[in-house]
Amino acid sequence: MDSKEKKRLLLSNLFHHLDGIVLIPTILELEKKQILNHILNNGKSKLSDLSNRFSANEGYLNVALRLLCSQNILEQEHVNEDIIFKDIKLQKWMSLNIANKYKITAPLYANEINYSNICDDTDSDKINNSILAKTISNYIHNTEQNKLIFKNVDFDFNWQKHIEGIIVAPILVCLARKKMFTNVEIGHELNLNIHNEWSKILMNLFYHVGIIDVKNNISEYGNFLLKRVTSYGVTVSYLPTLKNISHLLYGDNSNRWENNSTEETHVDRSMNVWGSGGAHHTYFKKVDQIIIDLFNLPIEHQPKGFIDIGCGNGKLIEHIFDLIYYKTKRGKYLESNPLFIVGSDFNYKALEATNETINKADIWAKTAFGDISDPDSLAKKLKEKHDIQLSDLLNVRSFLDHNRIYTAPKKNYNKISNSTGSFCYQGIRIKNKDLEQNLKEHFAKWAPYLKKYGLLIVELHTIDPAVSAKNIGKNAITAYDATHGFSDQYIIEYELFLKIALETGLKPDPQHEYTFPSRDIPIVSINRLL
């Protein structure tokens, strides 16, 4: 096997891990009410009928069943604003009794497990009696016992890697965030600076899944995973949501987001930021090029500065400033042409963190509370408080617009939607045409402020599950669809995203249009919309 093929195989394992983290709790909940059996017995079922029959929230049920379409188990068909789910490989999948195999991981979703205890526990009895330790032990014992049985089984559907994913990924993330994998190399001995009991349990697990060899030396597989641990971070950060799927599918979610606390309960935000920082490195190389090209133009054609909307901890502001200062013509003329820099966020803690970052970096910048859905208020605030015109700035947003709070569109979208996505708000299904109109009205609010210098936008997209089904193990779309769908975020197909932007007068700059992993499968896009 050549190195390219080997890397493809190793990367495929990682993607199957991510798939498993979201598929397992979803499938276990669908099985509890025999929803999949019902589809199998009938050959096909309407979403609305399934929702009524099983007293399920149509919005989240749609998200759940669409995941199985992405895995080539079901097939979806949009008919008159309803959705029909058909058996495509469900019978074969159920014949392998995969849902029952998944149950070995159920304790990891049914209980509140604090993975940081791995690094903090000092009581041997407490460690060995913990749910996590017992689940790991059961997993190792179960797979060892069944090795001979599995040898001749049809390994379609990748269920073994799914189970490995939820067992291993949260542990790897926890250890990586504690700096346990700083000197990773093939053949080097792996040492974990944790209590001896936890060390024995985890080293046994890592040997069992092939991360280390019998001498505790890091394998090629282990080296690959440990150097890419941040790739697990975003999906693992949504474990609070995935543990709550039963309530999402069958409970009352009408007040889901009416939480007076500033703490988010559906996601571990610090882990999410940590994970996205690693995963987004590739994308921001392209963002850098757009910034450099723009601020190398003649001064009269440059924006007065930039605003990072959804500024988080302010690190992107610091990075863009350094980029302009050191690598563009504008950086040489900051005294005569100062740079107006603004960090805006909906979260006051984020604004505090941004202030800390820019003060430490000695950057002249302002911060302002801003709602992604209300540019007029932000523009007014900037003018009144700082005498800055929002339209004079380059607007920068990364992975933010899909996280806007949904509001019902003011106008009817008079076109048939071509989206295959599953969208909902607090359990109520959003019709795809309404989601498209909502996005159109969202862009229309921003359009007046983007005519001069545009919007530099990095965005996430869904893809047709029929395309996903042909590319299993080649991307993380199933994980993205689950984590975003179950948390009321709206990732729409790239071509529709562009079409709707064009309808509001926002055109992509063809010199600065990028898609990842490819134009044929555009899951992440980078554009400067003008």
DSSP label of 78:
E
- Mean of the per-residue pLDDT values of the chain: 95
Q: Contact, 186 vs 223, CB < 8 A?
A: yes
Query: Using CA atoms, how far apart are residues 224 and 14, in angstroms rounded to an integer?
Result: 9
Q: Per-residue pLDDT for 309 more than 70?
A: yes
Give the mean model confidence (pLDDT) for residues 280-309.
Answer: 94
pLDDT at 260: 60
Give the mean model confidence (pLDDT) for residues 444-450.
Answer: 98
Helices (H) and strands (E) in the chain, counts: 26, 12
Q: Per-residue pLDDT for 29 more than 60?
A: yes
pLDDT at 279: 66
pLDDT at 100: 96
Query: Using CA atoms, how far apart are residues 458 and 528, in angstroms rounded to an integer?
Result: 9
In sequence order, what DSSP letters do the residues of 333-353 get, joined into one string?
A: GTTTSPPEEEEEES-HHHHHH
Q: How many residues can be counted in the chain?
A: 530
* Structure-model confidence comparison of residues 80 and 15, the more confident one: 15
Measured N-to-C along each axis, helices 3-32 and 58-70 cross at an angle, to the nearest 10 degrees, of 150
pLDDT at 149: 47
Q: What is the pLDDT of residues 83-132, one digit of tens each?
A: 999 999 999 999 999 999 999 999 999 999 999 999 999 999 999 999 99
Residue 58 φ then ψ, to 5°: -60, -40
pLDDT at 417: 94
Tokens of 216: 């505790």
Element spanning 310, H or E: none
* CA 523 remoteness from chain centre: 11
The hierarchical CATH code for the domain 269-404+436-461+494-529 is 3.40.50.150
Q: What is the pLDDT of residues 118-165, one digit of tens each?
A: 999 999 999 999 999 999 999 999 987 766 444 444 556 899 999 999
Residue-range domain boundaries for the chain:
269-404+436-461+494-529
